[in-house]
Structure 1
Amino acid sequence: MGANLFSGEIPPELGSLSSFQIAMNLSFNNFTGRIPPALGNLNLLEFLLLNNNHLTGEIPSTFESLSSLLGCNFSYNDLTGALPSTPLFQNMDISSFIGNKGLCGGSLGGCNVNSSPQSVPSLESGVTHRSKIVTVIAAAVGGVSLILIAVILYFMRRPGQRVPFLQYKDALSPDTDMYLPAKEGFTFQDLVEATNNFHESYVIGRGACGIVYKAVNQVRCIKDEDGKVLATENAVKDRWRGYFHNLFNEGHERSTSLEELSNSEECRNYSFYRRIRKEEVVVALKKMKHRKAVGPDDIPIEVWKVLGETGIAWLTDLFNRILKTKKMPNEW
């Protein structure tokens, strides 16, 4: 249900699906209102994705009962309040909560404890308290202003440091094929990741009032076996060719290269045309790791493992049909 145009509040009836497991994806919609506490009844749920909506209020305390939960994402909403006290929420990465200005606790930092509602201060004490706050704020603003003025004057009088020209030229050489189109909705978090938290190795220039960084989209960079980024199209193709050669020949006593195969009758190896066995499908499923990106069918690997013998039989039949007809399905 993710990446649609659903709006309104999340139906609390979803919490009655007690046997629902694996993942519930409601992200990238237009849901509003509070998160239904009834979702805390989904004891078998492993992943809950509510990011990129317009949800408000606090994360329900009933979520502490989600004993099977492995991961969740509440980022880019309008949520407030403290995170649930379970270790899963307290130790979760900050990227699961960014974009919510009112959340606190765990990786987001401590929450401010409000004064006890039982103590009602008098009017006189309230005025005195506000006066102290105003005085402290005014002093802090004045101090910060003086520090900023001093820093600005220091950088204005300091000669700018420049990175050597050859280093800058190498970093932005037009032959490297490393220019990428601008990403829509580019956030500050993207800049942090693209510059490795603004590391010195990404600096390409310094001025009197600022520093220029080189941002590299790591997701779209292909590296060789030594970890070096490949910059040319031919090098990238060779890397992919070697990767798939090793992948498809894993576990065999010998590998057959494309050059060894020919159209002549005596050179054909008919062992490559045998049917795929269930045992091979079982071995392949065991090698696949959990929580990986899904393919065109949008079905995670966990689903096939849960289906057991039924799923293995279905996949084996599908693979053999593809092998026999030499055609891939139009839709998955």
Structure 2
Amino acid sequence: MTAAPAARPTDAAGSDEASLIASGRQVIHIETRALEALQARIGPEFAAACRLLLGCRGRVVCTGMGKSGHIATKIAATLASTGTPAFFLHPGEASHGDLGMVKDSDVVLALSNSGETEEILTIVPALKRQGNLLVAMTGRNESRLATLSDVHLDVSVPEEACPLGLAPTASTTAALVMGDALAVALLEARGFTAEDFARSHPAGSLGRRLLLKISDIMHAGDEVPRVGSTATASEALVEMSRKRLGMTAVVDDDGHLLGVFTDGDLRRALDDDQIDLRTTPVQQLMARSPKTIGAQQLAIEAAHLMEEFKINGLVVVDDSRRVIGALNIHDLLRARVV
């Protein structure tokens, strides 16, 4: 007979709720202490690293192996999106050809908790020969990488949060925070603005809000609903139905805006038994002082106008109040402005 498999434990030691909560809190406590210790080390060396990066005529090349490599990748992404051109270079691949991506105008930011990572130390002589400056983040001031660097940032921690002292935990958190500190300090030193941030995030919500203009999303040319000053309400209704924006502009012979006739105006007219849409001039029913917007204004401004005045569409006019476009709330929704 085949022996039955041993039953798996259903409640391993230390897996009760209180133990799990205590473990999680202990990790946060240890990593908080690590960051408190790190804060005290933000001094002249940090300022020197910032000056070196600010003076970089090329890009910041971030490199690291293993978990340090993951942190270096994130630091590169943060730098690049906040005004400091940067990219990640895998140190193992660098010595097999990828070192060719590094120009002599670049500054290298190398991460290694031990400061003895062979893959990084292998490429340092080549970088030095090329004239690259080196900023190192390590947990050991006396390490080879620290002594070879032009600027060394001490990211050592009192202990790892891993109870075995093996898995990088507090040390990677410290390196990540140091990278954020560099990025923000550089951002402020460069006078980097929200508009600058938006330019590198055109697909994000901030990019759409700060970069997308009315001209990018408005209907123009033959798509703009408009009728002449002598049109009847029924003719305006036909134009509204054809262009499907829920409104039509009423213009004079030169295309200047006289007013706007909307779905709301139509409903009010239908409620009045004395109004015959076939014979009533649209000028009698239109709004004579409608809200308008310029083509070079931001799309988010259109959203604010629509929200403030409880309207669903806007006519776009030029400086002479000639009608050049139109848009409604659905255009803003499609553009993900709202």
Category of TM-score, reference length = shorter chain: under 0.3
Normalising to structure 2: TM-score of the pair?
0.21
Normalising to structure 1: TM-score of the pair?
0.21
- Larger CA Rg, structure 1 vs 2: 2
Which structure would you say has the larger RCO, counting Cα contacts within 8 Å and 6 or more residues apart?
A: 2
